[in-house]
């Protein structure tokens, strides 16, 4: 199933993935954007109609939880960036990510291990 999520919906989903579940008020607390309660509620209802979240009644509020994994939702936007910005070159994308000064030595070591594992798979 191709997951289609707008940028604003992705912001709301990020809160749900981090928290595991949240009420509209809790989503509002975690969002950087200055949105109205009704706007967040509308976004959550749209996500629910798409099948990406579900809700359960909790007192007078509803608690929303994601029904899709973050990794599944991230595949499509990442491939779009790869194609449109980096002309399909994974090498250019990774080079750009690695040029960021905020990459820690620990992250680099984990990336090196991932690459070594992938190379072993390819060589077999």
pLDDT in tens, 72-89: 877 777 888 888 899 999
- Give domain status of residue 107, yes or no: yes
- Give domain status of residue 76, yes or no: yes
**Distance from first CA to last CA of the chain, Å, rounded?**
31
> Residue 59: what pLDDT?
92
- Give domain status of residue 90, yes or no: yes
| Global pTM exceeds 0.85 | no
- Any bridge partners for residue 45, and if so which? none
The whole domain housing 76 covers 70-123
Same domain, yes or no: 88 and 54? no
Residue pair 49/4 in contact by the 8 Å Cβ criterion: no
- Alpha carbon distance 56, 40 (integer Å): 17
- Alpha carbon distance 123, 94 (integer Å): 21
Same domain, yes or no: 57 and 19? yes
In 1-123, where does DSSP find H-type helix?
A: 7-19, 24-30, 37-49, 70-85, 90-98, 105-123
Task: Tell whether the model's pLDDT for residue 46 goes beyond 70.
Answer: yes
Provide the domain count of the chain.
2
Same domain, yes or no: 99 and 118? yes
Residues 6+ apart with CB under 8 A from 12: 27, 31, 40, 43, 44, 47
Same domain, yes or no: 61 and 74? no
Residue pair 96/86 in contact by the 8 Å Cβ criterion: yes
- Give domain status of residue 2, yes or no: no
Taking residue 122's Cβ as centre, other Cβ atoms within 10 Å add up to 7
Residue 27: which CATH number?
Answer: 1.10.10.10
23 confidence band (pLDDT: 50, 70, 90): very high
């Amino acid at each position: 199933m191709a997951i289609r999520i707008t940028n604003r919906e992705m912001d709301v989903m990020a809160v749900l993935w981090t928290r595991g579940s949240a009420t509209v008020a809790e989503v509002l607390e975690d969002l950087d954007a200055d949105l109205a309660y009704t706007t967040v509620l509308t976004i959550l209802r749209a996500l629910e109609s798409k099948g990406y979240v579900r809700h359960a009644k909790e007192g007078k509020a509803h608690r929303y939880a994601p029904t899709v994994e973050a990794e599944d939702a991230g595949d499509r936007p990442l491939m779009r960036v790869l194609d449109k910005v980096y002309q399909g070159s994974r090498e250019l994308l990774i080079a750009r990510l690695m040029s960021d000064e905020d990459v820690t030595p620990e992250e680099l070591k984990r990336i090196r291990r991932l690459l070594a594992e992938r190379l072993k798979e390819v060589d077999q």
